[in-house]
Amino acid sequence: MPTRKMNNSDDTNEAVSPVADRPERSDVPDRIDALTDLVASLASAFAELQARSAEKAAFDESFSELRSQISDVKRAMVSAQAVPARVPVVEDDCGCGCGCVSSGCCCFEIVLDKVRAIQPQGVLEPFDAGEVATLINPLEVVMFVSVDTIGILLPSLSTTMDLRVPSNITGGGPGPWVPINRVVGKFMVKKGTPRTLTIDIQASEIDKGGERIVGGKDEHGNASQDITLDCCTPKVYPPMPTDLYFTFGGTGGGFPGSHHGAISLAFFARRVCC
């Protein structure tokens, strides 16, 4: 029987060595670096996911709180519609009705209402001696009316107010009222405490034109009037008009000791908003 000869050297060359499947030792550091990068990426993604989850939770909480507040507002609106509004009780302000700077005060305006001549000058000043027939001969007057040194000048520095009055030759008597309606000043009054003010008047009867030719001189006079203001009285009138006589300066168109021209002024006070 033929005998098969074994070739040991061939068998050794055909066998697969297990060491051939192992990675080269030079590739290990690269694989470790790749694995480290992968782990870092996963950690970053996980952290970002946690942050977004926290933001969503905070948003959900805020939205829930907002819905709760809206519900409270709706319930309050329904309650307000169901219950009638309570009208506040306002302390009596004596009918002022116009919001003062203080609840304990009110304000008044003192007004020069009207003025008229009540007596002409004497016959030695014919141009101021009053009306005779078709001759008017008025008193030419300028005046300053004040309270506490603050007031108004009428009519102006360069003009006069002509006040007609009957002549003494025809019986005399007061002339017609001339409407003025000028505010002298505005004053504050404490409620419950009446305030008395003094109105001062200074006036002059001006001689001009033909009167200067005969040596006429201007006549002057002054007068005063008290007025008491009370917040519970909306309009206040002094008991009588204020009369003023031109007793200083010239003779008033007459002889020494004779009468002078005179005027009368009417005032009132009205309560106004402060």
**DSSP reduced 3-state for 111:** strand
**pLDDT: which is higher, 7 or 250:** 250
Q: Which residue's entry shows tokens 């709180």?
A: 65
**pLDDT: which is higher, 254 or 181:** 181
Q: Which residues of 60-88 are buried (b: 16+ CB within 10 A; e: fewer)?
A: eeeeeeeeeeeeeeeeeeeeeeeeeeeee
* Alpha-carbon span 119 to 18, nearest angstrom: 151
Nearest to 130 by CA among 169, 102, 160: 169
Are residues 85 and 97 in contact, defined by beta-carbon separation less than 8 angstroms? no
Residue 9: CB atoms within 10 A of its CB come to 7
Question: What is the average pLDDT value for the chain, to the nearest integer?
Answer: 78
pLDDT digits (tens, 9 = 90+) for 187-224: 999 999 999 999 999 999 987 766 655 545 788 999 99
Q: What's the pTM?
A: 0.61
pLDDT digits (tens, 9 = 90+) for 98-134: 545 567 889 999 999 999 999 888 777 777 778 877 8
Range with lowest mean pLDDT among 78-87, 102-111, 255-264:
78-87
CA dihedral 25, 27, 30, 35 (to 10 degrees): -90
Position 13 pLDDT exceeds 50: no
pLDDT at 110: 97
HSE (side-chain half, CA atoms, 13 Å) at 211: 25
pLDDT at 163: 93
Instruction: Quote the percentage of the chain above a pLDDT of 90.
Output: 36
